[in-house]
Amino acid sequence: MNPSPSLGQRLSHARERGFVGRAQELDLFGSALDGKPDSFAVLFVHGPGGIGRSSLLRRFAGLARSAGRTLTRIDGRSLGLSPESFEAEAAAAFDDERPVLLIDTFEQCQGLET
């Protein structure tokens, strides 16, 4: 007898069903994961609130995991505003040869950009 899906699994499935479009962005991110010569090292996902940036980053995270990449996710809302706090949160990305570092709500810690 199969157990019922957990609430987390049900929410994840609902998010997957609700995610539409963004094929161009997903292809672009996939090319970087594959290490194609014309790919990039930094990708900025930007736009007004409510357009699905966080949903897109969740999808990027799934692609990175599927590609076997080390994934580090940071939420700017919970990050301290010092370079040391950022480095502590992102430490796993610094220890890997081909990391994926996703920073959501970066505008909350944009002062760290320099």
Angle at 55 between CA 49 and CA 61, to 5 degrees: 135
Burial 73-97 (b: 16+ CB within 10 A, else e): bbbbeebeeeeeebeebbeebeeee
- DSSP letter assigned to residue 101: E
pLDDT digits over 53-104, tens only?
888 888 899 999 999 888 888 888 887 778 888 888 888 888 888 888 888 8
pTM for the structure as a whole:
0.74
Q: What percent of the chain has pLDDT over 70?
A: 83
For the stretch 61-71, pLDDT in tens is 999 999 988 88
Average pLDDT over residues 23-35: 84
Span 49-56, mean pLDDT?
Answer: 81
